[in-house]
């Protein structure tokens, strides 16, 4: 594991390189996640070289000061590419990371070779009556993590699997490492609630630029949102509409949003899309 610090506005971003034999792929995690999200993918495809930051307000980048937005994350990620001497890369994003990836390609098309989006990136159906003031209710399970101190990774795992990701295997050692990275020494989750809500507001209420993209886009979307049988994040009609704008679109059956990357079936699908892009 190689972790470097990249100066950005408000502090330094922690960036890990998961070494492989491929050209580097910039990997952007989701709204309440960290760079360890990509561990499942690296287990299934160790040949991939992944450049994976903890975005501001999360994990080892928790203390980067200032508000968040897709535009700010894009600025941070361009600094990462510059620090690494990378002119143009394939970019992958999961959930909110997909929206940031689209914004990066929109603002800096000369820096992005292609996009791989995992259950994100395309506009989400907005719940009726949703307002900025109601976002804490939408993300109540994430924000609830911040209100307590967990006595162990196992205690945090029980909380996490009960709400956010009920279909994950609690005995998965990759999940154990992922959750351990979330916690500080006192058992508090390293996630800024204000940053999460800033990002959520931008995703739901900010301008979307996916229709401006002029590069290959590959997209994987999950069968369910949270738990077996739940409505998907992208209903069939929306999925069909967005799939028409992609090079490849794949429905990942039998998984929910988290499982689209945090399971073997999800990681295998994403690895296949990346192999296609890199070829």
CATH no. for residue 247?
3.40.50.1820
**Residue 1: what pLDDT?**
64
In a domain, 178, yes or no: no
Q: Is residue 145 part of a domain?
A: no
274 pLDDT exceeds 70? yes
β-strands 217-222, 89-94: how paired?
unpaired
Is 142 within a domain? no
146 domain residue, yes or no: no
Q: Does some domain include residue 220?
A: yes
Query: Greater confidence, 198 or 137?
Result: 198
Identify whether 184 is part of a domain.
no
Tokens representing 123? 């506009």
Model confidence, pTM: 0.96
- Does residue 76 lie within any of the structural domains? yes
Instruction: Enumerate residues 6+ apart whose C-beta is below 8 A from 224.
Output: 230, 231, 232, 255, 256, 257
- Per-residue pLDDT at 127 exceeds 80: no
- Which range of residues forms the domain containing residue 269? 2-127+193-278
pLDDT in tens, 74-113: 999 999 999 999 999 999 999 999 999 999 999 999 999 9
Report how many domains make up the chain. Answer: 1
In a domain, 180, yes or no: no
Mean pLDDT of 253-270: 98
């Amino acid at each position: 594991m190689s972790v470097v610090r990249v100066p950005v506005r408000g502090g330094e971003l922690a960036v890990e390189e998961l070494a492989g034999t491929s050209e580097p792929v910039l990997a952007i995690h989701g709204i309440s996640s960290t760079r360890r999200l990509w561990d499942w993918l690296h287990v299934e495809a160790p040949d991939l070289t992944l450049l994976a930051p903890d975005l501001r307000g999360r994990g080892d980048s928790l203390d980067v000061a200032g508000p968040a937005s897709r535009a700010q994350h894009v600025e941070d990620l361009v600094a990462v590419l510059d620090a690494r001497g990378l002119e143009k890369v394939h970019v992958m994003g999961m959930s909110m990371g997909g929206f940031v990836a689209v914004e990066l390609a929109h603002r800096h098309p000369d820096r992005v070779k292609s996009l791989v989006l995992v259950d994100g990136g395309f506009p989400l159906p907005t719940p009726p009556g949703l307002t900025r003031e109601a976002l804490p209710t939408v993300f109540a399970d994430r924000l609830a993590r911040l209100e307590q101190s967990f006595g162990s990774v196992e205690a945090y795992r029980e909380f996490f699997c009960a709400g956010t990701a009920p279909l994950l295997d609690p005995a998965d050692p990759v999940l154990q490492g992922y959750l351990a990275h979330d916690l500080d020494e006192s058992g508090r989750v390293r996630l800024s609630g204000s940053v999460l809500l800033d990002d959520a507001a931008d995703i739901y209420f900010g301008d979307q630029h996916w229709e401006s993209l002029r590069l290959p886009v590959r997209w994987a979307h999950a069968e369910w949102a949270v738990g077996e049988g739940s409505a998907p994040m992208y209903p069939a009609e929306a999925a069909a509409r967005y799939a028409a704008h992609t090079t490849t679109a794949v429905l990942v059956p039998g998984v929910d949003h988290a499982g689209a990357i945090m399971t073997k079936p999800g990681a295998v699908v994403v690895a296949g899309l990346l192999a296609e892009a890199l070829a």
